């Protein structure tokens, strides 16, 4: 892998800026959603969706990532999360050997390139441009679960802050307040499986930006998308980001190394963005 740090920087920027609403139209992910074991029956669509969101505190799984940002890259990955606290991604393109890792916490982002022995460690605010995106928001994007920016996943206490409309057999859930000229909404099918996260400019009825979800499964954490596709533009460069999960383990003993590497070269914040031209 020629530039694992660049890849990790792309992942960090794409995930955080997706939560900020800076994504482009995404290609459609094939609808391979699975039918939940026990469909929820209720007359209130928001209650029905909330009922599919199970409790979880930790997760870890394997998977694969495909990334296009000028050049293409595909790798096996390991993903670990502590709810509302940390996201860890390990790049393992060959024989399970870790070549790089990414850690996003409440106030920092760390990307480590083991091949070239260098790293970036910066405040998350470097990526969010002042938008109140939280680790929880990014986790919800990862899992395909509805949320309100800066307030957490949709729940009964937050129900009054969203509205629902019917579109054929689908339901669209939209927070009452958008951000910086955009509203955002989550689309679900008639079995409360998420289809997309849509960003709509004020005054328009057509989504300008979109994240597509597929392979939604009923898990210990509720409905969770196992396939995610995002097309984003970061630093005027088009990024195509596809993520798939396998063998998710919920609420086990998840350990996340938060230490900075010894003997590695630390890169400046400006270098994080310059990586996109390499």
Domain that holds residue 175: 4-277
**pLDDT 10s per residue in the chain (278 long)?**
445 555 555 566 555 555 555 544 444 444 545 544 444 444 799 999 999 999 999 999 999 988 776 667 788 999 999 999 999 999 898 888 888 888 988 878 888 888 888 888 888 776 665 667 788 988 998 999 999 988 999 999 999 999 999 989 999 999 998 776 777 899 999 999 999 988 776 776 665 667 899 999 999 999 999 999 887 665 666 777 889 999 999 999 999 988 888 999 998 766 655 554 55
Which DSSP symbol is given to 208? S
CATH code, domain with 240: 2.50.20.10
Q: How many domains does the chain have?
A: 1
Which DSSP symbol is given to 272? H
- Nearest Cα to Cα of residue 100 among 114, 87, 88: 114
CB contact at 8 A, 223 and 144:
yes
Which two three-digit tokens encode residue 229? Answer: 């596709």
What does pTM read for this prediction?
0.82
d(CA 187, CA 197) in angstroms, rounded, equals: 7
Place of tokens 């230490």: 259
d(CA 144, CA 142) in angstroms, rounded, equals: 6
Residues 6+ apart with CB under 8 A from 13: 127, 232, 234, 235, 239, 272
**Residue 9 belongs to what H/E stretch?**
helix 4-20
CA dihedral 111, 114, 117, 123 (to 10 degrees): 10
SS3 175: strand
**For helices 4-20 and 135-143, angle between their N-to-C axes, nearest 10 degrees:** 100
d(CA 36, CA 59) in angstroms, rounded, equals: 20
- Nearest Cα to Cα of residue 18 among 213, 199, 200: 199
């Amino acid at each position: 892998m020629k530039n694992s740090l660049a890849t990790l920087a792309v992942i960090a920027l794409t995930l955080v800026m997706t939560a900020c609403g800076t994504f482009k139209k995404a290609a459609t992910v094939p609808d391979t959603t699975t039918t939940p074991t026990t469909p929820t029956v209720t007359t209130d669509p928001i209650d029905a969706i909330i009922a599919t969101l199970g409790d979880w505190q930790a997760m870890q799984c394997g998977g694969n990532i495909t990334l296009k940002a000028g050049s293409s890259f595909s790798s096996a990955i390991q993903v670990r999360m502590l709810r509302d606290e940390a996201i860890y991604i390990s790049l393992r393109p060959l024989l399970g050997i870790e070549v790089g890792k990414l850690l996003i916490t409440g106030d920092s982002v760390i990307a480590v390139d083991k091949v070239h022995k260098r790293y970036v460690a910066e405040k998350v605010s470097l990526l969010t441009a002042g938008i109140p995106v939280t680790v929880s928001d990014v986790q919800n994007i990862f899992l395909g679960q509805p949320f309100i920016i800066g307030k957490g996943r949709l729940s009964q206490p937050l129900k009054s802050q969203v509205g629902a409309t019917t579109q054929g057999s689908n339901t669209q859930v939209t927070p009452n307040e958008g951000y910086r000229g955009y509203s955002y909404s989550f689309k679900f099918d008639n079995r409360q499986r998420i289809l997309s996260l849509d960003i709509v400019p004020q005054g328009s009825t057509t989504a300008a930006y979109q994240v597509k979800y597929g392979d939604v499964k009923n898990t210990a954490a509720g409905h969770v998308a196992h396939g995610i596709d995002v097309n984003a533009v970061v630093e005027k460069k088009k990024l195509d980001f596809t993520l798939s999960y396998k063998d998710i383990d919920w609420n086990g003993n998840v350990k996340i190394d938060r230490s900075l590497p010894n003997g590695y070269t630390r890169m400046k914040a400006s270098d994080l963005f310059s990586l996109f031209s390499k």
